[in-house]
């Protein structure tokens, strides 16, 4: 990275502005994954700020999984995705003062429909074989009865993970992971309710419909097909 490429910051919210300046450098490709960033002294001098502020900004970016400190080498821009990057987004939504349920469900549907569309474009025979295997596993676990909630829920998750993987898009996978983490409790409660009400076959049929859409490349209303796997989400939330 060339000296002088980072924009100077003013005294207001110094730490945040240091973070913004480094982030801007990454967006502009002045800092790339694997690059070593300037030392604390160099950053402080270039940005016109104190070393303590630089140190605090670096700590935050390390926590967020954006930077990594290598002892005796320096601080580097991370290469690849870190699970810790998800946490701030999740907490931000959880701690939102507004009731974000409807917004979250709209996001869930939009992402899951997008995942389906991508999977339909790139689906291969091996993908369908794996999906059929997960579907059979789900049926087997459902047939074991209402007390088998944990394994049915896992089978449900495994089924959707295969569909996400079909799209072969790392960014979509990460975004979908965030949405699924945020809706974990609702999805678990939905599966639990379906089993307790003796509606396991209905749960299975909805997923079989998703499988058939992918297997046949069926041109249909994907929003409706995805929505049909939600069942009692609204009732559970209320």
Chain mean pLDDT for the chain: 86
pTM here is: 0.67
Question: Are the beta carbons of 167 and 118 closer than 8 angstroms?
Answer: yes
Q: Which of 103-117, 123-137, 212-226 has the highest mean pLDDT?
A: 123-137
What tokens does 204 get?
A: 């299975």
Domains and CATH numbers, the chain: 14-80 (1.10.10.10), 86-237 (1.20.120.530)
Cα dihedral 177, 137, 144, 208 sign: positive
How far apart are the C-alpha atoms of 179 and 196, rounded to whole Å? 25
**What distance in Å separates the CA atoms of residue 223 and residue 212, rounded to the nearest whole number?**
15
Q: Which residue has better confidence, 25 or 234?
A: 25
Q: Which of 24-33, 138-147, 212-221 has the lowest mean pLDDT?
A: 212-221
Angle formed by the axes of helices 51-63 and 40-47, to 10°?
110
- pLDDT surpasses 70 at 53: yes
């Amino acid at each position: 990275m060339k000296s002088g490429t980072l924009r100077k910051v003013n005294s207001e919210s110094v730490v945040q502005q240091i973070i913004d300046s480094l982030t801007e450098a990454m967006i502009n490709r002045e800092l790339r994954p694997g690059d070593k960033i300037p030392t604390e002294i160099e950053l402080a001098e270039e940005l016109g700020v104190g070393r303590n502020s630089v140190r605090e900004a670096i700590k935050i970016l390390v926590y967020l999984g954006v930077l990594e400190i290598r002892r005796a080498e320096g601080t580097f821009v991370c290469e690849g995705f870190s699970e810790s990057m998800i946490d701030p987004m999740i907490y931000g939504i959880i701690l939102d003062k507004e009731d974000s349920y409807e917004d979250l469900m709209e996001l869930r549907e939009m992402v899951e429909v997008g995942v389906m569309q991508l999977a339909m474009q790139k689906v291969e025979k091996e993908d369908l074989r794996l999906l059929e295997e997960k579907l059979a596993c789900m049926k087997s676990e459902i047939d074991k009865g209402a007390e088998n909630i944990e394994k049915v829920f896992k089978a449900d998750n495994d089924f959707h993970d295969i569909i996400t993987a079909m799209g072969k898009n790392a960014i979509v996978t990460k975004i979908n992971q965030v949405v699924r983490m945020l809706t974990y409790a609702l999805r678990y409660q939905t599966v639990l309710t379906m089993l307790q009400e003796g509606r396991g076959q209905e749960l299975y049929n909805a997923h079989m419909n998703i499988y058939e859409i992918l297997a046949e490349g069926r041109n249909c209303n994907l929003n409706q097909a995805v929505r049909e796997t939600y069942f009692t989400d609204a009732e559970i939330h209320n």
